[in-house]
Chains A and B, each alone.
Chain A
Amino acid sequence: MVDLIFTVISLIVIVPLALFLGVIYSYLLRKLSARFQWRVGPMLRMYGDLKPLLGTTRLLQPLYDILKLYGKETIVPDVSRRRLFVYSPFLSLFFAVAAIFFIPFPGMPLLSGVPYSLIIASYLLIASILFTILGPVASGSPWAAIGARREVELFLVSELGFVLSLFAVAIARQSLVIWEISSGGQSLYLALLTVTAGALMFVAMLGKLHIKPFDMPEAEAEIVAGPYTEYSGKLLGTYYLTKVFLLYGLVALFISLFLPPIATDVLWLPLYIVAAVVLVFLLTSVQVLNPRYRIRNAINWYLKVAIPLGVLNFIIALAIWLVV
């Protein structure tokens, strides 16, 4: 009974917490890439004389940008399939939020202990991305159609790496429950798997989060705003909110799967934050160092990197399962 109450409370707490952390990660992405590019970026401490005008800090700038969109007019194009166009952002957000319920946070196991939670979480993440494709397709814009097509192609190849990496871990740990994986111990062999499968997961995350060189679905110089061309106001804000949750969810999943037992006990919280910041820093470095690939190059690259790496992971995982 106590467990149930604790779980319910933690489920309620995790939503604002995930939003906050997602916003902080987005802020870090923006600030770090700004500093890499000789820019200022959103200010952590505002200049004294501008404080009355702009507030003391712009730490929550990504959130303000989303909130601004909620105050704007929403336009639904005449040629769109109205119902799908309007519901897709909300469904996408719903699945992203649902996915984070199955990923543990230090001190809060949430629903990660339920059987097959690894499968559930990965399917929910897929569903969320699926609706970022369906809505744009329903909008009737040629730019959105091209963007969505690229998103599908990219999604298919990055998903391959994602799944291969998840199941390598599952085989090695002999479990499909995230909580069991993340509270398991470490050994030399598992550390090796962490490096190889973690690298594969990181590469898959690049595609899922549209980090350069894999941001071709949103390539503004080529296809305006890609999938989001026809979206505006609240609907666009909802998509951006989804992105924030996805960023949090993927970072949390990475830590809980590859860096156990950091995501289990509340005492690990400082280390959890450090790991998240390092991960966001790595994502940012890739983002600033690279131009955008063509979609064909991206697919080739994924097939060249993800499949051999995935096979290697499987061999290591099988060896761990059979030998150790």
Chain B
Amino acid sequence: MKFETAPDVAEYVKKEIYPDGLEYVPLRENRVIVKVAPGDLTKVAELFVKKFEARLIHATAVDLELKGFEVLHIYDFSKFKDRLVVIVKAIVDKDSPEFPSIANITWQATWAEREMKELLGVKPSGMPDPRHQFLPHEWPNPVESGSIPEGYKFDGSTTAKEMYLPLRMPIEEAYQTLIPIGPYHPGVIEGQIVYVKVEGEQVVAADIKTGFHHRGIMKLIERRGYNKGAFLAERVCGICSAAHGLAYITCTENLYESEVPERALYIRTLLAELNRMHSHLLWVGVVADVIGWKTGFMLTWGLRERVMDIIEAITGNRVNYGIWRMGGVSRDVPQELAEKAKRTVDALREECAKLLLLVADHPVVKSRLIGVGPLTRAQAYDGGAVGPVARASDWKIDVRIDNPPHAIYDPKVISWEVITDDHCDTFGRTLVRVKELLVSCSIVSQCLEYLAKTTGDIRIKPKTVPLGAEAVGLNEAPRGELAYYIRASDKDSSLPHTVRIRTPSYRNNAIIPLMLVGSNLADVPVVMGSTDQCLACTDRLEVIDNRDGGRKILTWDQLVNLSRRASRW
């Protein structure tokens, strides 16, 4: 299957959307670059967001060495033309890298601009929230990092650490009413701090601080090339690894004239949907655990094991599948395996339907989830929610329909539907996820049926990536829209110049404080869990502790044997 670009797409953008650009460059798959002057960025943003209701996918910047910094705003226009994505570019000078901030026009750009500022040292002017996003607030000092309120008086005795004021409140007040949820809290397994200001058990203000888990994957891909990048991209997240693999491959395949055999597309869909199934099952388990329902946790994770077994039988791995290749996949699904897997999936579907009934009807579960973490459609739209969080607020947004990745999601070929819900709370998010689980079951079943009946190629050798090419790859991860932006190197055809990843949790985490305000302290972990946050995706730092010691050394096989024996019934 070839992925075509509409021939008139650049003309369309010039005529219908924005006529005053300096240059229009069509990319593959209806992506269009519009180059503008830095001063016009706000004007363009205003036009796109207010008039066309386009959604900002990501804002980032690229270091072009001597030429300066290139500021990129990526907008989703799929409502107007099939798969249309407009990339607004402006080059700013290295000596004074200032350009107007668009966070006042679309709030969704807040995190992105804060990150840009830290990553490259560019200066978006007029940011509503200039504090550090990933670096510590107290580094190098609270005044420079922007975490001290204007005109706040402090005496010399306070240390830098004490001056760290999450909600920009005076120290005395912070000591009395501020409760830190994190950085490592039993309710949320990964590292982040959510500061909640409480009155009694009522949350009146909340703030979130990330930056506890940086791994530099974007930089690693830039140094290792396109082929190894597929393996690295999977390792961004251990749960939605297939989503990352697919988004990365979609992006790299958009860099050159790609062609993918149909069977490979089916295998990609199969794996992405199996991945979604186990991710959603995991999420239901985590929320059950957070509300103290250990039985629900054990039951859903037991079901998840069966999905993992299917994945292991197909790819040989449980977590990082390692089958994503440019131009196809590396491993075929034999016909007899497909038949066997289909039987298991059909049986699993029954159990998942039972799970839906169990969750939707349990009175205590309902009392813990209904009305918790409210998010109206307007709030979700302004905040930039993606994935099940947005769909639970009755906003029908799904990349698989709007801007599908390089896999089979055509509703004419595979019958499936986008699930939405109008509860606008955690209960709605639960229902959306459990129903999506059933939809995924049906997609997986249809893919396996196709694979069991046919045979064919699974990979077409990729062509060389042209120098300086650019591409955007989108995919619907279990948590929402996942975006990759890659710019090929100008000198080496095997290396990317820039890789940027915008994960769904990056967006959903940003609106957590919004959902927390007004809720009960007991509901804070539930609200935080309800976005299915994946902090490894969001964060950008890691410390590895490699101490080892101990007198007894077990080999890997011994350990595996021990664990098998210990878990035998």
- Which residues from chain A contact B569 at a C-beta distance below 8 Å? 40
Give chain A interface residues in 265-324, CB to chain B under 8 Å.
288-297
Confirm or deny: A222 has a beta carbon within 8 angstroms of a beta carbon on chain B: yes
Confirm or deny: B128 has a beta carbon within 8 angstroms of a beta carbon on chain A: no
Query: Which one of A6-14, A91-99, A158-166, A213-221 contacts B?
Result: A213-221
State in angstroms the CA–CA spacing of A47 and B567 once bound together: 11
* Chain B 283-300 per-residue mask, 1 if CB under 8 angstroms from chain A, else 0: 000001111111111110
Residue of B186, B289, B362 most packed against chain A (CB within 10 A): B186
Confirm or deny: B364 has a beta carbon within 8 angstroms of a beta carbon on chain A: yes
Confirm or deny: A212 has a beta carbon within 8 angstroms of a beta carbon on chain B: yes
Confirm or deny: B97 has a beta carbon within 8 angstroms of a beta carbon on chain A: no
Residue of A39, A50, A216, A290 most packed against chain B (CB within 10 A): A290
Is the beta-carbon distance between B522 and A37 smaller than 8 angstroms?
no
Is the beta-carbon distance between B565 and A49 smaller than 8 angstroms?
yes
Is the beta-carbon distance between A291 and B568 smaller than 8 angstroms?
no
Confirm or deny: B555 has a beta carbon within 8 angstroms of a beta carbon on chain A: no
Is the beta-carbon distance between B522 and A219 smaller than 8 angstroms?
yes
- Which residues from chain B contact A295 at a C-beta distance below 8 Å? 201, 522
Confirm or deny: A224 has a beta carbon within 8 angstroms of a beta carbon on chain B: yes
State in angstroms the CA–CA spacing of A38 and B566 once bound together: 14
* Chain A 121-150 per-residue mask, 1 if CB under 8 angstroms from chain B, else 0: 000000000000000000000100010000
Is the beta-carbon distance between B520 and A292 smaller than 8 angstroms?
no
What is the minimal beta-carbon distance from B178 to any residue of chain A, in angstroms? Answer: 10
Out of B186, B187, B201, B296, name the residue touching A291 (CB < 8 Å).
Answer: B296
What is the minimal beta-carbon distance from B259 to any residue of chain A, in angstroms? Answer: 46
State in angstroms the CA–CA spacing of A146 and B198 once bound together: 12
Out of B292, B299, B523, B565, name the residue touching A213 (CB < 8 Å).
Answer: B292
Confirm or deny: A116 has a beta carbon within 8 angstroms of a beta carbon on chain B: no
Is the beta-carbon distance between B298 and A37 smaller than 8 angstroms?
yes
- Which residues from chain A contact B179 at a C-beta distance below 8 Å? 142
What is the minimal beta-carbon distance from B395 to any residue of chain A, in angstroms? Answer: 28
Is the beta-carbon distance between B367 and A293 smaller than 8 angstroms?
yes
Out of A142, A216, A292, name the residue touching B293 (CB < 8 Å).
Answer: A292
Give chain B interface residues in 417-469, CB to chain A under 8 Å.
none
Given A142-B179, A221-B186, A221-B289; A288-B522 close (CB under 8 Å): no
- Which residues from chain A contact B568 at a C-beta distance below 8 Å? 47
Residue of B297, B298, B565 most packed against chain A (CB within 10 A): B298
Out of B201, B298, B362, B368, name the residue touching A38 (CB < 8 Å).
Answer: B298
Is the beta-carbon distance between B567 and A292 smaller than 8 angstroms?
no
The residue of chain B having its C-beta at the shortest distance from the C-beta of A221 within the complex is: B187
Is the beta-carbon distance between B298 and A39 smaller than 8 angstroms?
yes
- Which residues from chain A contact B367 at a C-beta distance below 8 Å? 293-294, 297
Confirm or deny: B524 has a beta carbon within 8 angstroms of a beta carbon on chain A: yes
State in angstroms the CA–CA spacing of A293 and B520 once bound together: 12
What is the minimal beta-carbon distance from B50 to any residue of chain A, in angstroms? Answer: 41
State in angstroms the CA–CA spacing of A17 and B521 once bound together: 42
State in angstroms the CA–CA spacing of A229 and B485 once bound together: 46
State in angstroms the CA–CA spacing of A46 and B364 once bound together: 37
Confirm or deny: B39 has a beta carbon within 8 angstroms of a beta carbon on chain A: no
Given A47-B565, A292-B368, A293-B367; A221-B523 close (CB under 8 Å): no
Given A222-B187, A291-B368, A292-B368; A212-B298 close (CB under 8 Å): no
The residue of chain A having its C-beta at the shortest distance from the C-beta of B365 within the complex is: A291
Confirm or deny: B302 has a beta carbon within 8 angstroms of a beta carbon on chain A: yes
> Count of chain A residues with Cβ under 8 Å from any Cβ of B?
30
Given A213-B364, A220-B186, A297-B367; A292-B298 close (CB under 8 Å): no
Give chain B interface residues in 293-343, CB to chain A under 8 Å.
293-299, 302
Out of A50, A219, A289, name the residue touching B565 (CB < 8 Å).
Answer: A50
Out of A142, A289, A292, name the residue touching B291 (CB < 8 Å).
Answer: A292
Number of A-B contacts (CB under 8 A): 78
Is the beta-carbon distance between B565 and A222 smaller than 8 angstroms?
no
Confirm or deny: B525 has a beta carbon within 8 angstroms of a beta carbon on chain A: yes
Is the beta-carbon distance between B288 and A291 smaller than 8 angstroms?
yes
Is the beta-carbon distance between A219 and B295 smaller than 8 angstroms?
no
- Which residues from chain A contact B185 at a C-beta distance below 8 Å? 224
Given A37-B299, A47-B568; A221-B288 close (CB under 8 Å): no
- Which residues from chain A contact B565 at a C-beta distance below 8 Å? 47, 49-50
Is the beta-carbon distance between A37 and B295 smaller than 8 angstroms?
yes
Give chain B interface residues in 173-200, CB to chain A under 8 Å.
179, 185-187
The residue of chain A having its C-beta at the shortest distance from the C-beta of B293 within the complex is: A291
What is the minimal beta-carbon distance from A32 to any residue of chain B, in angstroms? Answer: 12
State in angstroms the CA–CA spacing of A291 and B298 once bound together: 13
State in angstroms the CA–CA spacing of A224 and B368 once bound together: 19
What is the minimal beta-carbon distance from B175 to any residue of chain A, in angstroms? Answer: 11
- Which residues from chain A contact B292 at a C-beta distance below 8 Å? 212-213, 215, 219, 221, 291-292
What is the minimal beta-carbon distance from A305 to any residue of chain B, in angstroms? Answer: 13
- Which residues from chain B contact A47 at a C-beta distance below 8 Å? 565, 568
The residue of chain A having its C-beta at the shortest distance from the C-beta of B188 within the complex is: A221
Is the beta-carbon distance between A294 and B288 smaller than 8 angstroms?
no
- Which residues from chain B contact A290 at a C-beta distance below 8 Å? 293, 364
The residue of chain A having its C-beta at the shortest distance from the C-beta of B301 within the complex is: A38
Out of B186, B289, B521, name the residue touching A224 (CB < 8 Å).
Answer: B186
- Which residues from chain B contact A49 at a C-beta distance below 8 Å? 565
What is the minimal beta-carbon distance from B355 to any residue of chain A, in angstroms? Answer: 14
Is the beta-carbon distance between A221 and B290 smaller than 8 angstroms?
yes
The residue of chain A having its C-beta at the shortest distance from the C-beta of B363 within the complex is: A290
The residue of chain B having its C-beta at the shortest distance from the C-beta of A143 within the complex is: B179
Given A47-B565, A142-B179, A213-B364; A222-B522 close (CB under 8 Å): yes
Confirm or deny: A36 has a beta carbon within 8 angstroms of a beta carbon on chain B: yes
What is the minimal beta-carbon distance from B491 to any residue of chain A, in angstroms? Answer: 51
What is the minimal beta-carbon distance from B22 to any residue of chain A, in angstroms? Answer: 53
What is the minimal beta-carbon distance from A321 to any residue of chain B, in angstroms? Answer: 37
Is the beta-carbon distance between B520 and A296 smaller than 8 angstroms?
yes
State in angstroms the CA–CA spacing of A124 and B87 once bound together: 73
State in angstroms the CA–CA spacing of A210 and B290 once bound together: 17
* Chain A 207-249 per-residue mask, 1 if CB under 8 angstroms from chain B, else 0: 0000011011001111010000000000000000000000000
- Which residues from chain A contact B521 at a C-beta distance below 8 Å? 146, 222
Given A38-B298, A40-B567; A221-B293 close (CB under 8 Å): no
State in angstroms the CA–CA spacing of A67 and B41 once bound together: 67
Is the beta-carbon distance between A288 and B295 smaller than 8 angstroms?
yes
State in angstroms the CA–CA spacing of A47 and B562 once bound together: 12
Out of B201, B290, B294, name the residue touching A288 (CB < 8 Å).
Answer: B294
The residue of chain B having its C-beta at the shortest distance from the C-beta of A225 within the complex is: B186
- Which residues from chain B contact A289 at a C-beta distance below 8 Å? 295
State in angstroms the CA–CA spacing of A215 and B522 once bound together: 12
Give chain B interface residues in 204-246, CB to chain A under 8 Å.
none
The residue of chain B having its C-beta at the shortest distance from the C-beta of A215 within the complex is: B292
State in angstroms the CA–CA spacing of A216 and B520 once bound together: 13
State in angstroms the CA–CA spacing of A39 and B568 once bound together: 10
- Which residues from chain A contact B522 at a C-beta distance below 8 Å? 216, 219, 222, 294-295
State in angstroms the CA–CA spacing of A16 and B110 once bound together: 64
The residue of chain B having its C-beta at the shortest distance from the C-beta of A295 within the complex is: B522
State in angstroms the CA–CA spacing of A296 and B372 once bound together: 14
26 contacts between A and B (CB under 8 A): A33-B295, A36-B295, A37-B298, A37-B299, A38-B298, A40-B567, A40-B569, A47-B565, A47-B568, A50-B566, A212-B292, A219-B522, A220-B187, A221-B289, A222-B521, A224-B185, A290-B364, A291-B292, A291-B293, A291-B362, A292-B291, A292-B293, A293-B367, A294-B520, A294-B523, A296-B520
- A212-B293, A221-B291, A297-B367 are known contacts; what are 13 more A-B pairs with Cβ within 8 Å? A33-B295, A37-B297, A37-B299, A47-B568, A216-B522, A220-B186, A221-B525, A222-B522, A289-B295, A290-B293, A292-B291, A294-B367, A294-B368
Residues of chain B at the chain A interface (Cβ within 8 Å): 179, 185-187, 201, 288-299, 302, 362, 364-365, 367-368, 520-525, 565-569
Residues of chain A at the chain B interface (Cβ within 8 Å): 33, 36-40, 47, 49-50, 142, 146, 212-213, 215-216, 219-222, 224, 288-297
Nearest first, the 8 closest Cβ-Cβ pairs linking A and B are A292-B292, A291-B293, A221-B187, A37-B298, A291-B291, A221-B290, A288-B295, A221-B525
